[in-house]
Chains A and B, each alone.
Chain A
Amino acid sequence: MKPSHQLVALHTILAKEIRRFARIWMQTILPSAITVALYFLIMGKFIGSRIGNVDGYTYIEFIAPGLIMMGIISNSYANSVSSFYSSKFQRHIEEMLVSPMPNYIIVLGFVLGGMARGLIVGVAVTLTALFFTRLEIQSVTLVVVTSILTAALFSTAGLINGIFAKSFDDTSIVPTFVLTPLTYLGGIFFSISMLPDFWYKASQLNPILYMVNSFRMGILGVSDVDLTVAMSVIIGLLAALFMTSLYLLNKGIGIRN
Chain B
Amino acid sequence: MTEYALSIHSLCKTYRNGVVALDDVELEVKKGDFFALLGPNGAGKSTLIGIITSLVSKSAGKVHVMGYDIDSQFSQAKSKIGVVPQDFNFNKFEPILEILKNQAGYFGMNRRAALLAAEECLDKLSLWEKRKHTPRELSGGMNRRLLIARALVHDPELLILDEPTAGVDIEIRRSIWKLMRKNNEDGRTIILTTHYLEEAENLCRSIGIIDRGKIIVNTSMRKLLEKLKEESFILYLQHPITQPLDLEDYSYKVIDSKTLEVALSQNKTLHRLFNILSRQAVTVLSIRNKANRLEELFLTMTGQSSE
On A, residues with C-beta under 8 Å from B are 1-2, 4-6, 8-9, 11-13, 16, 19-20, 23, 87, 90-92, 94-102, 252, 256-257
Contacts and interface: CB of A to CB of B under 8 A. Distances in A.
Contact of A8 (B54, B87, B93, B105): B105
Nearest to A95: B103
A9 B106 contact: yes
Interface size range of chain B in the complex: 35 or more
A1 B75 contact: yes
A257 B75 contact: no
A256 B106 CA distance: 18
B10 interface: no
Nearest to A92: B91
Nearest to A96: B106
Contacts of B98: 16, 19
A16 B55 contact: no
Contacts of B81: 98
B177 interface: no
Contacts of A91: 87, 89
Closest 9 A/B residue pairs (Cβ): A5-B108, A12-B105, A91-B89, A99-B106, A100-B75, A100-B78, A1-B75, A100-B79, A92-B91
B53 interface: yes
Given A6-B108, A256-B57, A92 B89 contact: yes
A4 B78 CA distance: 17
24 contacts: A1-B108, A8-B110, A9-B107, A11-B105, A12-B102, A16-B102, A19-B94, A19-B98, A87-B91, A91-B87, A92-B90, A95-B102, A96-B106, A98-B54, A99-B78, A99-B106, A100-B77, A100-B78, A100-B107, A256-B54, A256-B55, A257-B47, A257-B50, A257-B56
A100 B89 contact: no
B15 interface: yes
A1 B47 CA distance: 26
Nearest to B110: A8
Given A6-B108, A100-B74, A256-B57, A94 B102 contact: no
Contact of A95 (B47, B57, B106, B111): B106
Q: Is the interface of A mostly helix, strand, loop or mixed?
A: helix
Interface of B: 15, 47, 50, 53-57, 74-79, 81, 83, 85, 87, 89-94, 98-99, 101-103, 105-111, 114, 150
A101 B76 CA distance: 10
Contacts of B76: 100
Given A6-B108, A9-B106, A95 B78 contact: no
Nearest to A87: B91
A97 B90 contact: no
Given A94-B85, A100-B76, A257-B50, A8 B103 contact: no
Residue from B47, B77, B109 with most neighbouring chain A CB atoms (10 Å): B109
A11 B104 CA distance: 12
Residue from A8, A97, A101 with most neighbouring chain B CB atoms (10 Å): A8
Contact of B55 (A6, A8, A97, A100): A97
A8 B90 contact: no
Nearest to B103: A95
Contact of A99 (B91, B93, B107, B110): B107
B147 to A, nearest CB: 11
A87 B90 CA distance: 9
A94 B150 CA distance: 12
Contacts of A11: 105
Given A5-B108, A9-B106, A95 B150 contact: yes
